[in-house]
Chains A and B, each alone.
Chain A
Amino acid sequence: DTAVSQTPKYLVTQMGNDKSIKCEQNLGHDTMYWYKQDSKKFLKIMFSYNNKELIINETVPNRFSPKSPDKAHLNLHINSLELGDSAVYFCASSPQRSSYNEQFFGPGTRLTVL
């Protein structure tokens, strides 16, 4: 039974399109995250939500909009996709907002923008 799941696993799309990536966790955690792993392989935090409240919002273009309908879901919507958005996006969750807590990651979504 998958703890943190993401859909889709692969996403190939044209520049200018709008797309969404969905994330769900069944661990009962309060905090969820979106990370981006770019071509240089660094994992960088984009957003974090705690009980549906936005708590971390890094310097991310406002074309990226996270949405948390409930604390088990954190979706990522991307408008007007650009070539530089091509990356692997990981969703994660943790029991509480502090990074002293272990984070549990989903399998990643590989986004390719053509």
Chain B
Amino acid sequence: DQQVKQNSPSLSVQEGRISILNCDYTNSMFDYFLWYKKYPAEGPTFLISISSIKDKNEDGRFTVFLNKSAKHLSLHIVPSQPGDSAVYFCAASVQGNKLVFGAGTILRVKS
């Protein structure tokens, strides 16, 4: 039973355009959500997070939106750059306990 789902295995975007990566979850107790980015042959690195008391968090080109009623969050990257090409993992936790990860979405930004 996968509590965090990333239904798009891959996404291809033109450089300079917006990338939107989506994540759905089933556990309504999740109160903290994170995005991690992973390059080949490296470990995931933290990108951005959001608490369930907020609906938006922004950090430079990266914005995460949370829709609790739909149990859905998304990561927006604007403008997309070739260096953003990586695997993006969505993760969630309950009260600071273990992280539950999705399967990841491969983002390819074409120049």
Q: Interface residues, chain A, CB within 8 Å of chain B?
A: 4, 40-45, 48, 56, 58, 90, 92, 97-100, 102-108
A104 to B13, CA, bound (A): 28
The number of residue pairs between A and B whose CB atoms lie closer than 8 Å in the complex comes to 49
Distance (whole angstroms) from the CB of B38 to the closest CB of chain A: 8
Indicate if the CB atoms of A108 and B43 lie closer than 8 Å. yes
CB nearest neighbor in A for B99: A99
Q: Interface of chain A, helix or strand or loop or mixed? A: loop
**A residues less than 8 Å from B89 (CB atoms):** 43
Contact with B45, one of A44, A48, A56, A105 (Cβ below 8 angstroms): A105
A104 to B38, CA, bound (A): 12
Distance (whole angstroms) from the CB of B3 to the closest CB of chain A: 11
Indicate if the CB atoms of B43 and A45 lie closer than 8 Å. no
Indicate if the CB atoms of A48 and B98 lie closer than 8 Å. yes
Contact with A42, one of B43, B44, B46, B102 (Cβ below 8 angstroms): B102
